[in-house]
């Protein structure tokens, strides 16, 4: 199990997880692939394929057990335990992410924050004092943090990324509009906010084609 889930199905996992959470709080016990398809805008067939990829425990004639699927998806996504993270670059976006509720709710815990600007060092965010970036290596090694949020200007992102990797960080949530090049065993997710807005702009300009 957990074997080789195709990339497109992996991308759908957080959405399934979100709907399962919602259904669970609504007290729903079972849900059929047909109904789940309606909610998500997929086909029932695809929902069943995906559930099988995820190692489904559906019950024929009845549907999928909501609480169980929610739990299993959470485990697959690594949300069954707390994960500490550091954040590097305390500009507006960095500040906003530190306070972003859904992260704390999903078990992501801020363990340190870094910036190089004199006037920011020592400032308190989310109950934590901002430290200068030359402390990164110490902190990452001491606390063996594996996850970092990069809210940096594009021209320093690659360099800082490499330093973080050296220090032991293996997961990079990158908000700088550049692609990071790091060794194979680093996991990188780029958010590329500007690209996402450009896609919207494209769709608006060509809405007549749909």
**What residues make contact with its own copies under the rule CB under 8 A?**
2-4, 10-11, 13-15, 17-18, 41, 76-79, 83, 91-93, 95-97, 99-100, 102-103, 106, 108, 146-147, 170-173, 177, 179, 184-185, 187-189, 191-207, 209-210
Sole window of 20-28, 38-46, 107-115, 179-187 interacting with DNA (rule: CB under 7 A): 38-46
5-24 residues in contact with DNA (CB under 7 A) are 6-9
Q: Does position 65 bind DNA by CB under 7 A? A: no
How many angstroms separate the CA atoms of 136 and 120, rounded? 15
Q: How far is 49 from 36, CA to CA, in rounded Å? A: 13
Residues ≥6 apart with Cβ < 8 Å to 8 = none
User: Backbone phi, then psi, for 30, in 5-degree steps?
Assistant: -120, 155
Site membership for DNA, residue 46 (CB under 7 A): yes
Is 37 or 123 the residue whose CB approaches DNA more closely? 37
Are the beta carbons of 177 and 194 closer than 8 angstroms? yes
118 contact choice in its own copies, DNA, none (CB below 5 to 8 Å, kind-dependent): none
**Paired strand residues for 2:** none
Q: Which stretch binds DNA (CB under 7 A): 42-50, 138-146, 153-161, 169-177?
A: 42-50
42 phi, psi to nearest 5 deg: -100, -175
Q: How far is CA 100 from CA 7, 17, 110, 134, in A?
A: 27, 19, 11, 26
Instruction: Pick what 13 binds: DNA, its own copies, none; C-beta below 5 to 8 Å, kind-dependent.
Output: its own copies
Query: Is 160 near DNA (CB under 7 A)?
Result: no
Return the range that interacts with DNA (CB under 7 A); candidates 48-56, 140-148, 175-183, 192-200.
Answer: 48-56
Tell the residue number behind the tokens 């957990």, with chain if given. Answer: 2
């Amino acid at each position: 199990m957990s074997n080789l889930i195709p990339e497109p199905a992996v991308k759908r996992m957080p959405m399934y997880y979100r709907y399962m959470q919602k259904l669970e709080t609504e007290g729903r016990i079972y849900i059929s692939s047909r109904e789940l398809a309606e909610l998500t805008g997929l086909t029932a067939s695809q929902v069943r394929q995906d559930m099988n990829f995820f190692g489904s425990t559906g019950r024929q004639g009845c549907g999928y057990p909501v609480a169980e699927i929610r739990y299993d998806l959470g485990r697959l996504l690594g949300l069954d335990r707390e994960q500490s993270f550091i954040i590097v670059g305390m500009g507006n976006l960095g500040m906003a992410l530190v306070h972003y509720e859904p992260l704390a709710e999903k078990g992501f815990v801020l363990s340190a924050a870094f910036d190089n600007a004199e006037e920011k060092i020592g400032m308190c965010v989310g109950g934590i004092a901002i430290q200068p970036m030359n402390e990164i290596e110490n902190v990452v090694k001491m606390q063996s943090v594996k996850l970092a949020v990069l809210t940096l200007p594009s021209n320093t992102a690659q360099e800082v990324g490499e330093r973080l990797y050296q220090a032991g960080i293996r997961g990079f949530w990158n908000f700088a509009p550049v692609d990071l090049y790091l060794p194979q065993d680093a996991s990188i997710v780029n958010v590329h906010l500007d690209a996402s807005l450009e896609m919207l702009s494209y769709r608006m300009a060509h809405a007549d084609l749909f």
